[in-house]
Amino acid sequence: MNGTQNKKIIKADKKLRNRTLIFILILIILVFIFHIFYNQFLSGIKNLAEESPEMAINKILITLKILMVAMCIIFAAFTIYCFHISLLIYKSEQFPPPGMRVIKDTVLITGEKAKVRAIIGFAITGVLVIFAFIILLYMNNIFQFLLK
């Protein structure tokens, strides 16, 4: 006996798996589209830099600020999600938390092992928050330097 008979298995949700695969496919397509627009943007900046370097720098700064805000929103959403899932795991002492769907068959972990996973999730969340503040400070310093 290998000890897996006593473990409860949460069956995979096929609809969630299909949605996840579609999401990943759409994300890959969006990355390719972004890459094409990025190359066009760079060639436009190169042409603009030859005519007016100050306008090119301003355009780059505006683009960087927009990207920074977008990345901060995505980063904050991921951090909040990580904290929320960790909190659910900690309170229920169960991983995955009750009611959570999974994309592959998953062994249910309960008790102290689940709490350890929740604590790891809290630690990751803390590191992400610290990392976000450091990145924001560095980006602010870079923008202040470039605007001088």
Cβ neighbours around 95 below 10 Å, total: 25
* Total number of domains in the chain: 1
Residues of the chain with pLDDT under 70: 1-6, 146-148
Assigned domain for 2 exists:
no
The whole-number pLDDT of residue 148 equals 65
Q: Is 76 left (phi over 0), alpha (psi -120 to 50) or beta?
A: alpha
Assigned domain for 3 exists:
no
* 3-class DSSP assignment, residue 139: helix
Assigned domain for 70 exists:
yes
The whole-number pLDDT of residue 74 equals 86
The whole-number pLDDT of residue 6 equals 65
Would you list the DSSP string of 2-41?
Answer: -S-TTS-EEPP-HHHHHHHHHHHHHHHHHHHHHHHHHHHH
Q: Which domain holds residue 49?
A: 10-147
